[in-house]
Chain A
Amino acid sequence: MSSTSNLRADLAAIAEMIPAGARVLDVGCGDGALLEYLVRTKKVDGRGIELSQQNVNACVAHGLAVVQGDADSDLGEYPDQVFDFVILSQTIQATEKPSQVLEHMLRIGRQAVVSLPNFGHWRVRLALLFGGRMPRTRALGYSWYDTPNIHLCTIADFVDLVRGNGAVIDRALALKGDHVAGDVRPDSWGPNFAAQGAIFLLRKS
């Protein structure tokens, strides 16, 4: 993988935020697509944590430094400020304690990158309003009883959590369908209504 064109759009947008040579921890790195791109192309000093042992083994076989672990229980081991960036991509809604995970990310890294699905998207709102059932969308395709997404939130909710944690939003990008719609103002109501997801670049204030 050498160009961002092979990366999923949201991962490519995250990759663009990371400068070459940075120290990066990718929490919930999945099959390692983003990490591999960052290591190969941007020469970052990259590590990963991944819940699925199968994914971990595949990552390590590709030469990535990945350990099996859990964002909820294993971030506490890392010392303060050892990474330039800690990335959490499409995972925060599946953690048990999102606030604590965010706190650890901002403690371990100088900056944190968080991407998440937006439960405030109009399709979700309409699905609940008119369908009367827990919404199932393309981004959130699970039934309520088998979803790993136990802490869904809207963009506005997440912005509140970030500020409640004493952190600053340096950038916010809206995700629409398969593409990145660009920078948005995190406080405006527009993205919270129109974006299917968002990517935040955060740091401790």
Chain B
Amino acid sequence: MTETANPRFLRPLSAPGADAGKAVNFGPDKPLMLDCGRTLSPFSIAYMTYGTLNAAKSNAILICHALTGDQFVASEHPVTGKPGWWTMMVGPGRPIDTDRFFVICANVIGSCMGSTGPAEIDPATGKPYALDFPLVTIRDMVRAQSMLLDALGIETLLAVIGGSMGGMQALQWAASYPKRVRAVMPIACAARHSAQNIAFHEVGRQAIMADPDWKGGDYQSHGTRPSKGLAVARMAAHITYLSEMALQRKFGRNLQNREALSFQFTPDFQIESYLHHQGATFVDRFDANSYLYITRAMDYFDLAEDYAGHLADAFRDSPNRFCIISFTSDWLFPTAENKRIAHALNAVAAKVSFVEIKTDKGHDSFLLDEPEMFDTVRGFLNAVASADGLA
């Protein structure tokens, strides 16, 4: 096992001065056992840390990122040059206060920001894995994170926090490693991916695979990139992150840079050019095969399935404190799904808080300026930290 500074990124850096973080490389002695039955070895996990680990190593918080997120939670992204994706939540004096807590955020296995994924070279063939990369699950991602913690010498986390797919990982942490974590905070998530959500993911995957430049997944060897397909996948997905009300409020039927309809298929409406922009910027930073693999991991997630259909059994005798947050206008991971988790936790008398926040901003609310969410996170972490004797 070795540690390297500056993990390798697929795309050129637009902010070479930004902190690129580190990566732990797990050698043949530390293979990652996967749910699909295969093992991944060697493999790397790229990560960022913020704040300082205290002497007792008791102030570490793991943040789990969402589908297309990465480890740059609170600092400039070296590839895009954009600010971290959760700077309002994480940082000095923020709800997840890096003056108090040691924050770790790792790129999930299967992704493309320095952790091993389908775009990496398979040492067995000398060529990119592409579709030979094994299917990974949320549980595999969490297993890899626990190996990272071992490598960092951190036995117990004060909290695991994540939104959307990050929330799935937080739940999986509670189920897989209840003694390694004190508090669990899944935000805007579910204990299973719904049929509707699987359906949207399949649309995205089919868009990628229908792109002739995808080349059966082997586009790297052909020197192509299925950018059109990936952009369409992102556009379709992006709609699900918003809400009908927010779209209407922000865009309505407003026209983009024109006075009248064009009677052509160029983008007339603001919402069209907004989605085009979302698609275009996404393909500059994300790998199409990683998108296939990670969406599949989310589709496969059904925590109750591992416990004969009884979600409550995933949390039986749980020593963890839970705080669940949902948003009224989130139709991707609606309140009902979040509440299902709270009910399961009640059924085993786990220590659970559940907050629903009123907003029209849809699923993406967890990434946005939602003061009630910040108050909730701050209050919950204060309670957890003081119960743990942390200042």
Contact = CB atoms under 8 A, between A and B. Distances in A.
A74 B339 CA distance: 11
A31 B371 CA distance: 19
B216 interface: no
A65 interface: yes
A78 B347 contact: yes
B356 A77 contact: no
Interface string B338-376: 000011001111011111111000000000000010011
A45 B319 CA distance: 12
Across the A-B interface, give the 9 residue pairs with the lowest CB-CB distance, nearest first.
A63-B383, A61-B379, A82-B349, A61-B375, A67-B354, A60-B353, A77-B346, A63-B379, A65-B351
A64 to B, nearest CB: 7
A67 B383 contact: no
A22 B145 CA distance: 36
Interface string A38-77: 0000000101000001001101111111111000001001
Interface residues of B, number: 25
Nearest to A60: B353
Interface in A94-132: none
A83 interface: yes
A79 interface: yes
Nearest to B324: A67
Contact of A83 (B321, B349, B380): B349
Given A57-B357, A60-B380, A77-B343, A65 B352 contact: yes
B354 A79 contact: no
Interface of B: 321, 323, 342-343, 346-349, 351-358, 372, 375-376, 378-380, 382-383, 386
B347 A60 contact: no
Given A61-B375, A62-B379, A65-B321, 6 more contacts: A47-B352, A60-B353, A60-B379, A62-B383, A66-B353, A67-B352
Given A57-B375, A57-B376, A79 B323 contact: no
A45 B351 contact: yes
A47 B323 CA distance: 12
Contacts of B379: 60-63
Contacts of A62: 379, 383
B356 A53 contact: yes
Contact of B355 (A45, A60, A77): A60
A68 B356 contact: yes
A53 B372 CA distance: 12
A53 B342 CA distance: 14
28 contacts: A47-B352, A53-B355, A53-B356, A56-B355, A56-B356, A57-B355, A57-B356, A57-B357, A57-B376, A59-B353, A60-B323, A61-B376, A61-B378, A61-B379, A62-B383, A63-B379, A64-B353, A64-B383, A65-B353, A65-B383, A67-B342, A67-B352, A67-B354, A68-B355, A68-B356, A78-B347, A79-B348, A82-B349
Contacts of B323: 60
A83 B351 CA distance: 12
A175 B86 CA distance: 51
A63 B382 CA distance: 7
B39 to A, nearest CB: 39
A21 B386 CA distance: 16
A83 B382 CA distance: 24
A77 B353 CA distance: 15
Contacts of A61: 372, 375-376, 378-379
A38 B282 CA distance: 50
Contacts of A56: 353-356
Nearest to B343: A77
A122 B349 CA distance: 42
Contacts of B378: 61
A112 B358 CA distance: 34
